[in-house]
Structure 1
Amino acid sequence: MGLLDTYHGKRDFGQTPEPADPGQSSATALRYSMQKHDATRLHWDLRLEWQGVLLSWAVTRGPSADPSSKRLAVRTEDHPLSYLTFEGVIPKDNYGAGTVMLWDIGHWQPFHDVADGLAEGHLHFALHGRRNTGNWSLVRMKGRRAGDKGRETWLMVKDRDAAAEDAQEGLVERHLTSVATGRDLAGVAAGAPAVAFGPDRKGAMPRFRAPQLATAVKDLPEGAAWLHEVKHDGYRAQVAIGRGGARIFTRSGLDWSDRFSPLLPVLAELPAGTALIDGEIVAGAGLQGFAALQAAIQEGGPFRFYVFDLLHLNGADLAPLPQTERRAALEKLLEDVPARGLVQLSPAIEGEAAPVLAAICEAGGEGIISKLAHAPWRGGRSTAWLKVKCSRRAEFVICGYQPSDKRGRAFASLLLATREGDTLVYRGKVGTGFDDAAQQEIAERLAALARPKTPLEKVPAEGRGAKWVRPELVAEVVYAEVTPEGRLRHARFIALREDKPAVEVQMETEIPAGDRTLVRGTPISSPDRVIFPKPKTTKLDLARYYDAMADRILPTLADRPASLLRLPSGLEGERFFQKHAGKGFPKAIRSLPIEEKDGGTEQYIYIADAEGLVAAAQMGTVEFHPWGARRDRLDRPERLVFDLDPDEGLGFAAVRRAAFDLRGKLEELGLGSWPMVSGGKGVHVIVPLRRTAGWDTVKLFAQLFATLLASGQPDRYTATMAKAARKGRIFIDWLRNERGATAIAPFSVRARPGAPVAVPVSWDELARLRRANGFGLKAAQERAWSDLTLPADATLGEPVLARLEALREKQA
């Protein structure tokens, strides 16, 4: 007799929409569902996957998370696996007639042999659903049968664990809709359309941010300033919530919402208008390890999302807040999610790190992440987050493989490398850790990447006879140590990684935890050298500032030629501008060739990332002055800058009034603008541009506009650079709008007493400010671009030029 004979014998599939197909077994974890069934009597049907069918029980009154409330569960016929997600209406006069709503979905994890449990009358298991979570038992009642049908009577009982609650009817009263379509029973019965999960959000989803990364250290950090979390073995993920629901992004910004789709409804139901959540996705339902996660991705689950940071909430940027305040906001956001559910808060432990690490390593964990409790969130690698591993484990690029002479083995070993600058450096080979399926998959993917020559700069002796491939695949490897030659010892393959691009794979170097002079991997020499006496600001302080402010400086500095104002000995010492790259410059400070007016070519400096900012600070840089064009289109400026430079005798009120004058005149021309206090005496009025006009057009417009204002109010303004012309006036400096000219970068420190910072402000805020140098390093770090509403990029086309001419004629 077949396992599904009873199921098929009770149904006429010409009338009922219930599935007849047996369905496919799961390859990873056992699946589970619970259906709310409005039949002759309302009940909930429990389905547990086992040996190709769904073991089934009809649970009267539904499940209860109160351990004292034992729910009657009548064993019914086994159902096909295809019934797992069934939702619909069984017509009248059919077996089980009534409305079926998918009330919960997920996986289950038996704690013992299921066949023994069924025979003995006790099943003990965990449910990993969206609603039912934690540990449960099914206990058969002795000598009891359900009516004259001879079916077994069981009790469904909740264990007293973190997911237990005192409210007997809490689960069934709290959850009244389908986990598949969002409809209630009446909606399913009426054939209503599916309902989107979560509130109807109007706000745009926050943008992905480059993740904050931890620095590997050899020794545990000491002191009470740290929070310690488990280093999870999964994929780093950012979840953006806003209009349209929720999306999931990898550490490199790839949208993997489709791969982790079972998490989306849970995330969409979080009580936030907009949010940006940071965390790690791991394999769920009790599965462990990165290989299990990869198998889960292929299967469509199970997953668990451990959340550990909150960067944005309901329009507010939380990144500048201390770690403890962000965590408090995160705890509040997650307070109603099911305990032990698909989305969980990553535990954080205060105090000494040693016992935490010991417990995690003993349990087979990967290690810990220690985070400074008072530190803000900043993208990129820093020493505010430290990681200590139980074993050495890292990513490497596969650059080739050694063929195997053994039958059935696709290759003998993989050759590994890391990227150091623009070259690939050989790091050794790995020949263990592959099962047959992994070998086959890797071999097929390597075949598609074959190349005749090595991608390595230098081929090691063990690379003779190797087959080379394009360095695009990334392997995660565990190893014992790294030799003095930079080779891995006792390496073992874990899995392929697809969330980290091969171009980003570098050799991870552990540093002593006590070494606090390392910023973004750059050692800061003479860290205690005082750059600004008041308030006392050292070279290390300045490097840390630029590291922390990278996300705000780089939008207007990165990939633009720039001049660096260097003060190697501090404020009282020598200072000089440098725009050409010199010998011995750190690799993090980039260069590009630019043709100069005399026809020659020079290598100009540009900064590309946070590492470049810190490297410049290590060289004594205080100020950053970028061009108004990016390196991909040096002939097309992307901004207009009018620098309002007052005569010595004028106060800030006059400068402020001048800025509003410029704003008004620009608006008459159809141009939006935003202000920035320079950190000195003046204000920059900045017009963002589309890259449509060349330098000649932009320079001519800036000159004509400044001259127009100066001629209209000659007692207040001048457009002439000469000192004599500035007496009692404000110089409208338009000369920053020609090729090769620079202007101070927003959020750059100024080489002036007090270490003031050039800070973008809103027009409303500018009206209240009393000076242009009122923001120090601490005040600048509390600000963000998201605090401002910037105007749209403008085009210096014929309409604008025509309005400028009309304004000139009107004034004449």
Structure 2
Amino acid sequence: MARLRTYLEKRDFDRTPEPASEGRPSGTGLRYSIQNHRATRLHWDLRLEWDGALLSWAITRGPSFDISEKRLAVRTEDHPLSYLGFEGEIPKGNYGAGTVMLWDIGWWQPLDPVSRGLKKGHLRFRLFGRRLTGEWNLVRMKGRRPADSKRENWLLIKAEDEAADQRDPVARYRKSVSTGRSFSAIRQDAAPIALDRDGKLPGRVAPQLASLSDDLADSARFWHELKLDGYRALVAVGQGGPRVYTRNGHDWSDRFSSLLVAFDDLICASALIDGEIVAGAGMQGFGALQDAIKSGGPFGYVAFDLLSLNGTDLRDEPLTKRRATLEKLFAKLPPMGSLQLSPLIQGDPADAFRMICGAGGEGLIAKRRDARYMSGRSDDWLKIKCRRRAEFVIVGWLRSESRARPFASLLLAAHDDDGGLRYVGKVGTGFDETQMQEIAAFLRPLSRKSATVPAPASETAGVTWVKPELVAEVEYAETTRRGRLRHAVFLGLREDKPASEVRVEAEVPMDERENIAGVSVSSAAREIFESPVLTKGDLARYYDAISPAMLQEVADRPLSLLRLPEGMAGERFFQKHPGKGFPDAIRTVEIADKSGTTEPYAYVTNAAGLVSAVQMGTVEFHIWGARRDRLDRPDRMVFDLDPDEGLGFGDVKAAATDLRDRLRELGLESWAMLSGGKGIHLVVPLRRTVGWDTVKLFSRSVATLLEQTEPARFIAEMSKAKRKGRIFVDWLRNERGATAIAPFSVRARPGAPVAAPVAWDELSSFSKASEIGTRRAIERGWDGIDRPGPQSLNSLVVERLDKAMNG
């Protein structure tokens, strides 16, 4: 490799123990290490795996957790991957002669593109080491170097986070992280110092399991924790340990050996800890964990219970006491490291649940505070899922018409309480090419001629049946009345649970309803948005939560509803006239058109009205510029800044502030709203003193003024052909019967963005008009947004506009 030429040229590998081979990439995740090097001058060598080699810096005084410290880090030649764990004595007369101690090792996660960071001179990254954790910055120093100098000076700076401002790691850690040896012992080639715990290794205990619930628990008796996305694991620490046991008692210590070394940092004679093994180094999800298992890491462990400590059985103690003891045991571990405590949900768990589900999380686990630890399933622990997820037995497969795919879908089943297998449907998505090949290889020797499970012939034509031995983890939206999985997605194979133990959990069927804001919402688990996952119930809960803010602008205005009864993938249509079967919470007002013919229009006054609209499949709310009591007198004027495709959001923000200033010169104040699409809306609150024609003419004149002043930037016509490179100042929202997207309405666009009001002094901080989602919208509301009071379009304002237009 060309990158290693300098490294190889500087070393005689007949005289130095340093590795000459390139080494192998990690596969999943990126490795990191620091070597404390006692050479001519003591320093610490930072190594970051990237593109098949190790980026390297010599840190002269070592790393510091003090965010005000800037430690000099001199860029050195790239090293081979095989150097990552090197420790030993480099003899005199060799380049870098001295003692090398492996001071820290782990994984790292770039927070920005590495190639760009190296070019610009700023690398942002997180470390997941045994000793160094959290976010860090490497910043190249400015200034010209002498032409003959090859020194490239950088600064290593700790970012402010939970891992900052700890005790000085240089003073704290004086021995090898891998062998426990000092510099002297390494120089003398002494044997590694093994950690010798004197406590008896605890035996395996069957774990406590949670029962499925469709509702959150009473916060007075239960606390709530995050539902994690990994493998349940009890870790035993003591003589001969640590050991990892799956929930079915399998010893998987060899699979997670790279994680187990982190348990050496626990100060105790013995312990039995309950928790979950997850993907580490910033990676998320069950698929990432499976990739990590194949590659030997990275892993993380989230502990949530302590069953024994130093020989004392704690299972009969209440959960509150076990948790307090666990927190003391973990207190001296590095924050943000491989071993973490499961966070307890603070505040209202309903708010947390909405935010977790909105962010695509798993859900919550509720645990009774005063309960003892009891093996097996009980109501002391409850699991509340955002989306359904469970294990199923693979009982067959269907051939694919594509030669590239070894199968089209897998047939799934689960055991009933009586032990018999029950067919639950198919899964045909979620596989990548490698997974499909691996699964096909597992299935071939399991083929059988007779049916594995009773199933309708219409659903099993052409199936190849297999012995029920493989277990699949599957996510799905809901179950149908026939017991079939809806929108099933394959997540991975489960090796920690035998097929014989896969049971059908009691599920909330798809025709059950959920009461939100007093409205019975059917099919609440039906997925509306895919990423982040947002169900019909989530959408209803959002509009219920945001209603105090949203109704300030929406209540008592005629509405147009954008309905998507089948979700984002199905049909969508606007509806402004309530039809037969509209719920009572969506009220109607009769409005006459120009010919005098009256039609009913929808409006709402409370949260129940908003949620009732969601029950009918509504995603977006569009509002008139007048209230129903004075339909001839608008109380808001809206300018929609709609950019050409080639313009960036920075152009739109600049246009918004310029339009604000222009309106201010005319004597009108406005507030801004990210549209949730591409543009920005400016809203001018009005006194109800003039009619639609006046507002329409005035807004059109303002748009025309902008076009006259800066024709290269603005256009007042809707024409797409003429808009190239310009921003359309859409004034057409300001005529009778026209609507604009309502503040705090979710948009029917990927990602479920919200049309969100923003303060003028924060507008510059947003990078796109779709940046705010449902969770942030609820958190923000109207906080910090200064909305001007109603203003008059009086003769003075009109005179100023006329003067501006005519010079």
Q: Same fold (TM over 0.5)?
A: yes
Task: Report the Cα distance in structure 1 between the residues aligned to 2:248 and 2:172, rounded to whole angstroms.
Answer: 37
Equivalences for residues 329-344 of structure 1 within 5 A: 329-344=325-340
Secondary structure (helix, strand or coil) at the match of 1:12 reads coil
* C-alpha deviation, 1:454, in angstroms: 2.3
| C-alpha RMSD of the superposition | 1.7
Alpha-carbon displacement from aligned partner over 1:755-790 (angstroms, at most 9, x marks no partner): xxxxxxxxxxxxxxxxxxxxxxxxxxxxxxxxxxxx
CA contact (8 A) 1:74 1:151 kept: yes
Task: Report the Cα distance in structure 1 between the residues aligned to 2:204 and 2:37, rounded to whole angstroms.
Answer: 42
Task: Report the Cα distance in structure 1 between the residues aligned to 2:219 and 2:489, rounded to whole angstroms.
Answer: 35
Equivalences for residues 697-776 of structure 1 within 5 A: none
2:356 maps to 360
Letter of the 1:500 partner, please give it.
Answer: K
Alpha-carbon displacement from aligned partner over 1:32-61 (angstroms, at most 9, x marks no partner): 111111111111100011111111000012
Task: Report the Cα distance in structure 1 between the residues aligned to 2:261 and 2:215, rounded to whole angstroms.
Answer: 41
Task: Report the Cα distance in structure 2 between the residues aligned to 1:275 and 1:139, rounded to whole angstroms.
Answer: 42
CA contact (8 A) 2:265 2:333 kept: no
Alpha-carbon displacement from aligned partner over 1:660-700 (angstroms, at most 9, x marks no partner): xxxxxxxxxxxxxxxxxxxxxxxxxxxxxxxxxxxxxxxxx
1:70 maps to 70
2:466 maps to 469
* C-alpha deviation, 1:128, in angstroms: 0.9
Q: Which moved more, 1:82-91 or 1:302-311?
A: 82-91
Task: Report the Cα distance in structure 1 between the residues aligned to 2:256 and 2:144, rounded to whole angstroms.
Answer: 43
Secondary structure (helix, strand or coil) at the match of 1:485 reads coil
2:113 maps to 113
2:519 maps to none
Secondary structure (helix, strand or coil) at the match of 2:242 reads strand
Letter of the 2:245 partner, please give it.
Answer: F
Q: Given the alignment, which residue of 364, 373, 385 partners 2:369?
A: 373
Task: Report the Cα distance in structure 1 between the residues aligned to 2:361 and 2:305, rounded to whole angstroms.
Answer: 21
Alpha-carbon displacement from aligned partner over 1:497-531 (angstroms, at most 9, x marks no partner): 1111111101111479xxxxxxxxxxxxxxxxxxx
Secondary structure (helix, strand or coil) at the match of 1:253 reads coil
2:143 maps to 143
CA contact (8 A) 2:280 2:299 kept: yes
Letter of the 1:372 partner, please give it.
Answer: R
Letter of the 2:293 partner, please give it.
Answer: I
Equivalences for residues 273-292 of structure 1 within 5 A: 273-292=269-288
Secondary structure (helix, strand or coil) at the match of 2:84 reads helix
1:171 maps to 169
CA contact (8 A) 2:200 2:311 kept: no
CA contact (8 A) 2:67 2:164 kept: yes
Letter of the 1:329 partner, please give it.
Answer: T
* C-alpha deviation, 1:472, in angstroms: 1.1
* C-alpha deviation, 1:221, in angstroms: 1.5
Equivalences for residues 156-235 of structure 1 within 5 A: 156-165=156-165, 167=167, 170-197=168-195, 200-235=196-231
Q: 1:20 to 1:453 in 2, by over 3 A?
A: same
CA contact (8 A) 1:107 1:302 kept: yes
1:316 maps to 312
Are 2:427 and 1:406 aligned?
A: no
* C-alpha deviation, 1:455, in angstroms: 2.3
Q: 1:270 to 1:118 in 2, by over 3 A?
A: same
1:13 maps to 13
What is the aligned-residue identity percentage?
59
Task: Report the Cα distance in structure 1 between the residues aligned to 2:197 and 2:23, rounded to whole angstroms.
Answer: 37
CA contact (8 A) 1:182 1:195 kept: yes
Letter of the 1:414 partner, please give it.
Answer: L
Alpha-carbon displacement from aligned partner over 1:51-73 (angstroms, at most 9, x marks no partner): 11111000012111111121110
Task: Report the Cα distance in structure 2 between the residues aligned to 1:432 and 1:15, rounded to whole angstroms.
Answer: 56
Task: Report the Cα distance in structure 1 between the residues aligned to 2:25 and 2:197, rounded to whole angstroms.
Answer: 37
1:56 maps to 56
Task: Report the Cα distance in structure 2 between the residues aligned to 1:417 and 1:147, rounded to whole angstroms.
Answer: 71
2:415 maps to 419
Alpha-carbon displacement from aligned partner over 1:287-320 (angstroms, at most 9, x marks no partner): 1110100000111111110000000011111111
Task: Report the Cα distance in structure 1 between the residues aligned to 2:396 and 2:495, rounded to whole angstroms.
Answer: 18
* C-alpha deviation, 1:146, in angstroms: 9.5
* C-alpha deviation, 1:244, in angstroms: 1.7
Secondary structure (helix, strand or coil) at the match of 2:3 reads coil
Secondary structure (helix, strand or coil) at the match of 2:83 reads helix
* C-alpha deviation, 1:459, in angstroms: 5.8
Letter of the 2:108 partner, please give it.
Answer: W
Secondary structure (helix, strand or coil) at the match of 2:62 reads coil
* C-alpha deviation, 1:179, in angstroms: 2.1
Q: 1:186 to 1:454 in 2, by over 3 A?
A: farther
1:100 maps to 100
* C-alpha deviation, 1:331, in angstroms: 0.2
2:479 maps to 482
Equivalences for residues 383-782 of structure 1 within 5 A: 383-420=379-416, 421-457=418-454, 460-510=457-507
Task: Report the Cα distance in structure 2 between the residues aligned to 1:484 and 1:364, rounded to whole angstroms.
Answer: 26
2:667 maps to none
Letter of the 2:492 partner, please give it.
Answer: A
Task: Report the Cα distance in structure 2 between the residues aligned to 1:316 and 1:389, rounded to whole angstroms.
Answer: 34
Task: Report the Cα distance in structure 2 between the residues aligned to 1:222 and 1:382, rounded to whole angstroms.
Answer: 16
* C-alpha deviation, 1:131, in angstroms: 0.8
1:658 maps to none
* C-alpha deviation, 1:202, in angstroms: 2.6
Secondary structure (helix, strand or coil) at the match of 2:462 reads coil
1:85 maps to 85
* C-alpha deviation, 1:448, in angstroms: 2.3
Which TM-score applies when normalising by structure 1? 0.61
Are 2:246 and 1:250 aligned?
A: yes
Task: Report the Cα distance in structure 2 between the residues aligned to 1:448 and 1:99, rounded to whole angstroms.
Answer: 54
CA contact (8 A) 2:318 2:372 kept: yes
Task: Report the Cα distance in structure 1 between the residues aligned to 2:390 and 2:259, rounded to whole angstroms.
Answer: 27
* Aligned pairs, number: 508
1:326 maps to 322
Alpha-carbon displacement from aligned partner over 1:697-742 (angstroms, at most 9, x marks no partner): xxxxxxxxxxxxxxxxxxxxxxxxxxxxxxxxxxxxxxxxxxxxxx
Task: Report the Cα distance in structure 1 between the residues aligned to 2:54 and 2:329, rounded to whole angstroms.
Answer: 36
* C-alpha deviation, 1:26, in angstroms: 2.5
* C-alpha deviation, 1:428, in angstroms: 0.5
CA contact (8 A) 1:75 1:151 kept: yes
Q: 1:146 to 1:162 in 2, by over 3 A?
A: farther
Q: Given the alignment, which residue of 282, 290, 295 partners 2:291?
A: 295
Letter of the 1:358 partner, please give it.
Answer: R
* C-alpha deviation, 1:457, in angstroms: 4.6
Task: Report the Cα distance in structure 1 between the residues aligned to 2:303 and 2:409, rounded to whole angstroms.
Answer: 37
Task: Report the Cα distance in structure 2 between the residues aligned to 1:193 and 1:201, rounded to whole angstroms.
Answer: 18
CA contact (8 A) 1:146 1:152 kept: no
Task: Report the Cα distance in structure 2 between the residues aligned to 1:444 and 1:143, rounded to whole angstroms.
Answer: 59
* C-alpha deviation, 1:436, in angstroms: 0.4
Secondary structure (helix, strand or coil) at the match of 1:500 reads coil
Q: 1:341 to 1:290 in 2, by over 3 A?
A: same
Alpha-carbon displacement from aligned partner over 1:403-451 (angstroms, at most 9, x marks no partner): 1121111001100000123321111010111110110010011112222
Q: Given the alignment, which residue of 293, 302, 305 partners 1:306?
A: 302
Instruction: Structure 1: state its 5+ residue gaps.
Output: 513-812
Alpha-carbon displacement from aligned partner over 1:246-289 (angstroms, at most 9, x marks no partner): 11111111111111112212213311111100000100111111
1:593 maps to none
CA contact (8 A) 1:29 1:285 kept: yes
Task: Report the Cα distance in structure 2 between the residues aligned to 1:158 and 1:393, rounded to whole angstroms.
Answer: 39
CA contact (8 A) 2:226 2:345 kept: no
Alpha-carbon displacement from aligned partner over 1:73-130 (angstroms, at most 9, x marks no partner): 0000011111111111111100001111111111111111111111111111101111
Task: Report the Cα distance in structure 1 between the residues aligned to 2:46 and 2:358, rounded to whole angstroms.
Answer: 36
1:667 maps to none
Q: 1:80 to 1:67 in 2, by over 3 A?
A: same
1:2 maps to 2
